[in-house]
């Protein structure tokens, strides 16, 4: 989540960061095209929708900081089917992913850079009260020296893929996303990046694994102090190299993405200004 109340006292910081400049992003020509479905307005209770996960029968989402610790199960038409309340605190939930047996909820939001210790919750799908807490820190992170919205120790994107739990950084300062693997057997643990992603036109706010195409799909944006967003959706190969980047010019604060069983991408947008929270399908179209 972006805290717009911070903007008036940080304009100089934002202008010093090319990542967050107000200039329109430049996108390389994509090898394939996407077709966007009709935008679906989400219920008001999901106005701060952040993470997203696609299952066979529903989409699961959650809200970020300051909201209740709840998982919302939605139809693909954007209607709430059920709500699960977890016995946890929501400091800043930013992502959700899943294995066949567990949910993973990432309480890792750190826009202002003041958090050192972060939590990922592993929740048994069959017993929501059976929760394992994975406590993590980042190698090299010194909260006392981080400038709000101008550091690389933030994250809003997490995916469980091929038996591994991966966290993608929201690198405000450098624009180069770091990829971390979370060891479910070690707690607490210090995360060290094993890969990085260069060439994206903004910060990553959501990720999922596209098993059929053997690649990752990410969403994100570049923003400025005045509420302007250049939003994108992109495919990244398993060597963490971007291979297709598509602009989403109609959208603003896109926060989550997931892949359904048919290979379509679904993404959510948090309510921003006069825009309602929304859900949209993106289909891949071969040129």
Q: Concatenated DSSP letters for 1-55? A: ---GGGGGG-HHHHHT-GGG-SSPPP-PPPSEEEEE---EEPPGGGTTEEEEEE-
Question: ω before 188 within 30° of 0 (cis)?
Answer: yes
- What pLDDT shows up at residue 287? 67
Which residues of the chain register pLDDT less than 70? 1-26, 287
Q: Taking the domains of the chain in order of start, what are their residue ranges?
A: 4-286
- What pLDDT shows up at residue 187? 82
Q: Which of 270, 218, 227 is nearest to 67 (CA)?
A: 270
- What pLDDT shows up at residue 1? 63
| CATH architecture for the domain at 4-286 | 6 Propeller (2.120)
**DSSP secondary structure letter of residue 110:** -
Q: What are phi and psi of 244, to 5 degrees?
A: -145, 135
- What pLDDT shows up at residue 73? 98
Q: Encode pLDDT of 39-97 as tens digits.
A: 999 999 999 999 999 999 999 999 999 899 999 999 999 999 999 999 999 999 999 99
Reported residue count of the chain is 287
| Burial of residue 58, with CB atoms counted within 10 A of its CB: 0-12 exposed, 13-18 middle, 19 or more buried | middle
């Amino acid at each position: 989540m972006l805290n717009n109340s911070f903007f008036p006292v940080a304009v100089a910081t934002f202008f010093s960061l090319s990542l967050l400049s107000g200039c329109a992003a430049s996108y390389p020509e994509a090898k394939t095209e996407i077709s966007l479905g009709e935008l679906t307005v989400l219920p008001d209770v999901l106005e701060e929708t952040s993470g997203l996960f696609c299952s066979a029968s529903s989409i699961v989402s959650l809200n970020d900081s300051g909201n209740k610790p709840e998982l919302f199960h939605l139809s693909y038409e954007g209607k709430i089917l059920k709500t699960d309340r977890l016995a946890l605190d929501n400091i800043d939930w930013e992502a959700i992913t899943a294995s066949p047996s567990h949910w993973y909820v990432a309480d890792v939001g750190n826009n202002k850079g003041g958090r050192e210790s972060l939590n990922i919750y592993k929740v048994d799908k069959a017993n929501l009260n059976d929760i394992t807490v994975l406590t993590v820190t980042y190698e090299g992170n010194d909260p006392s020296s981080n400038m709000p919205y101008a550091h690389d120790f933030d994250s809003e994107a997490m995916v469980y893929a091929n038996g591994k739990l991966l966290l993608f950084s929201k690198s405000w300062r450098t624009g180069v996303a770091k990829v971390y693997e979370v060891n479910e057997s070690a707690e607490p643990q210090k995360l060290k990046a094993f890969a990085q992603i260069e060439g994206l036109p903004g910060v990553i706010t959501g990720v999922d694994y596209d098993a059929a195409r053997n690649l990752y799909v990410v969403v994100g944006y570049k923003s400025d102090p005045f509420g302007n967003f250049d939003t994108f959706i992109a495919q990244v190969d398993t060597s963490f190299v971007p291979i297709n980047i598509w602009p989403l010019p109609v959208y603003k604060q896109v926060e989550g993405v997931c892949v359904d069983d048919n290979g379509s991408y679904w993404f959510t947008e948090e309510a921003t200004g006069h825009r309602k929270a929304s859900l949209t399908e993106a289909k891949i179209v071969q040129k």
